[in-house]
Structure 1
Amino acid sequence: MSTPYSTVAVVGAGTIGLSWTALFAGHGLRVHVTDPRPDLAEAVASALADAAPQLARQGLDTEGLADRVHLADGVPEAVRDADVVQESGPEDTGFKRALFTTLIREAPSHALLLSSSSAIPASDFTDGLDDAARILVGHPFNPPHLVPLVEVVPGRRTGADAVSRAVDFYRSVGRVPVVERKEIPGFVGNRLQNALSREAIHLVEQGVVSPSELDAIMVNSLGLRWSVVGPFLGAHLGGGPGGYRHMAEHIGPSMREMWDSLGRPEGGPEQTERLIGAVEDAYGSRSYRDLGRERDRKQLAVLAALRETSAP
């Protein structure tokens, strides 16, 4: 691989960290993984075995995949020779501040220090740290070895060179990095997801639909549309030949009236328990593993179809 990156450290081997590990190894990188979990070896082996056929379907060479992954005995060993560090630890500001203090001290001075943070901006855990210019958020969507997006979110003290290098790195492993111009809790993807989730919970709480019915509506309409166009392009096309201007001028007023009726879930213990029960009734008969594999098969099929239709 003709990039300046050869070794990546993955700090944190939960669901996201394990998926990153598979992706990086699938692209021929040496990967050093560390996590205090006692079953680290088993977790990594299982994740690589599950991911290997999915990586192969993306055209990656999975021969010797596990040989490219090293289990490190602690953070200093994991990051010692790293060109890039991808932190995927707990969503806790204090934890991240302490960890990145260690990363600055232990990783080579050229190493990019990236966080998989899903809601906490980099500035929240880098203020007061030395060498914060090379620290920024690289937030994936689960699972990152399948879902292409990475939100690249620099902190107040992140250097422009680090942003450019992060974009280059994520592109080198087949991701689609999007640089966000301002820090905001939750970044863009999770804020959009949470806005939709809030209305979905409200509709279920109000008895309009069940969880499985709401999912069927999404999968067979907006989910299908949004796999090929985003909200703005979708609205532009929805306006017909007049485009977004026609949509905004002729349909926009009724849409804005609907904004006032969008719900805010009650979210109390009783309502939450009812919601959990409804979701478990819909999906609890199947294991997490089975549901996840079905999701991944379908995501791979969508990605393959998009690649085929995008080919010249």
Structure 2
Amino acid sequence: MESGKDLRITLIGAGTIGLSFAALHLSHLPASSHLTIYDTRPDAEQYIRDNLPKFFSKASLPRSTSDVKIATSLHDAVSDADIIQESGPENLPIKQDLWAQVEKHAPKDALLWSSTSGILASQQAQKMQDPTRLLVVHPYNPPHLMPLLELVPSPSTSETAIRRTQDFWRARHRVPIHIHQETTGFVANRLAFALLREAIHLVDANVVSVAELDRIVESSMGPRWAVAGPFKSYHAGGGPAGLEGFFNNIGDTVQGCWSDAGNVNIGDGWEDKVFAQAREVYGTVDIAERDRITRRLLDVLEGERGKKTL
């Protein structure tokens, strides 16, 4: 069903993540399929018509955004959907109430996905009659560009729902990773926020500035990790002995860094300093430039990796 014709996808929420997912779905939906968006803002239709095209370059708009149906009620939005994906506020009571309502009106075999950044599926599903249908599909921002999707089921989520979700995203050349246990922040954000915490510590301790730290990441681990993750990178760094050799060679330095890692917390007083530097250096970040460069980088990586199969 998910890869066939007449696929009906409903997106709930037309914020940045919701519209980014809309752009992704429009890029892959066949002409016979349908995309519906439901959002509670009073000017939802005009807002979506004005902002959705911004997620495409002029040459890459695959279908007219006028093909998107803007639903005016939750019932109309979900009553005949094959996939229902919410990108609403990060508010547990709102999500719990939403899924209880969706469940009443959606087809019994519809896939139910949450794009939350941190609210577990087991928490969201507490008011549902059938929690086996719901799982988190957490994107890495912006999802219309970034390949990763973390699939985070609750202990109740069915294997069928997980498998159907994986099949859907693989058919669209994304990277759906099944996260085997619910954990705060899932995996990608835990890794990113660990680096962010140490970055804040180093800036707050006057070891480096915000701009200098960003240049360090952009000129070292940034491009390296685009090619290989930390395990593969350090396995290569250990030479013929691999990861074990790496730790044998510089394990003392690694442990020294771990032991000396900054223990910063929100509210500790670093905020004024770090936020002021970020404002001074970057002002308002040019998101279009970020996305353009990211797209080119991902195209190069896909091309290089594709050579391995030739």
Common fold: TM-score over 0.5: yes
Residue 22 of structure 1 corresponds to 23
5 Å matches for 1:23-172? 23-28=24-29, 29-53=33-57, 56=60, 62-172=61-171
Q: Cα gap change, 1:108/1:199 in structure 2, threshold over 3 Å: closer, same or farther? A: same
RMSD: 1.8
Q: Cα gap change, 1:11/1:128 in structure 2, threshold over 3 Å: closer, same or farther? A: closer
In 2, the alpha carbon distance for the partners of 1:128 and 1:77 equals 21
In 1, the alpha carbon distance for the partners of 2:140 and 2:59 equals 16
5 Å matches for 1:213-228? 213-228=212-227
Residue 309 of structure 1 corresponds to 304
Deviation at 1:2, TM superposition (A): 4.3
Q: What is the percentage of aligned positions where both structures have the same residue?
A: 39
Q: Cα gap change, 1:120/1:82 in structure 2, threshold over 3 Å: closer, same or farther? A: same
Deviation at 1:38, TM superposition (A): 3.0
5 Å matches for 1:258-273? 258-265=257-264, 267-268=266-267, 270-273=269-272
Q: Deviations over 1:24-59 (max 9, x none)?
A: 112124211111123323332243322232883xxx
3-state secondary structure, aligned to 1:71: strand
3-state secondary structure, aligned to 2:69: strand
Moved more, 258-267 or 268-277: 268-277
CA contact (8 A) 1:122 1:155 kept: yes
Deviation at 1:67, TM superposition (A): 3.2
CA contact (8 A) 1:48 1:65 kept: no
Deviation at 1:205, TM superposition (A): 0.8
In 2, the alpha carbon distance for the partners of 1:3 and 1:184 equals 33
Q: Cα gap change, 1:252/1:139 in structure 2, threshold over 3 Å: closer, same or farther? A: same
Q: Deviations over 1:131-160 (max 9, x none)?
A: 111100000011100001000011011000
3-state secondary structure, aligned to 2:57: helix
CA contact (8 A) 1:5 1:169 kept: no
Deviation at 1:258, TM superposition (A): 1.5
3-state secondary structure, aligned to 1:127: helix
The answer for unaligned runs of 5 or more in structure 1 is 57-61
Moved more, 294-303 or 246-255: 246-255
Q: Cα gap change, 1:4/1:112 in structure 2, threshold over 3 Å: closer, same or farther? A: farther
One-letter identity of the residue aligned with 1:36: T
In 2, the alpha carbon distance for the partners of 1:208 and 1:283 equals 20
Q: Deviations over 1:95-144 (max 9, x none)?
A: 11111101111111110000001111101121352111110000001110
3-state secondary structure, aligned to 1:113: strand
Q: Cα gap change, 1:170/1:200 in structure 2, threshold over 3 Å: closer, same or farther? A: same
One-letter identity of the residue aligned with 1:49: P
In 1, the alpha carbon distance for the partners of 2:159 and 2:45 equals 37
Residue 9 of structure 1 corresponds to 10
How many residue pairs get matched?
Answer: 303
Deviation at 1:269, TM superposition (A): 6.8
CA contact (8 A) 1:26 1:55 kept: no
In 2, the alpha carbon distance for the partners of 1:296 and 1:246 equals 38
3-state secondary structure, aligned to 2:138: strand
Deviation at 1:292, TM superposition (A): 0.5
Residue 184 of structure 2 corresponds to 185
Moved more, 39-48 or 83-92: 39-48
CA contact (8 A) 2:26 2:62 kept: no
In 1, the alpha carbon distance for the partners of 2:56 and 2:207 equals 41
CA contact (8 A) 1:34 1:78 kept: yes
One-letter identity of the residue aligned with 2:27: G
TM-score after normalising by structure 2: 0.92
| Structure 1 residue 297 corresponds to structure 2 residue 292 | yes
Moved more, 47-56 or 229-238: 47-56
TM-score after normalising by structure 1: 0.92
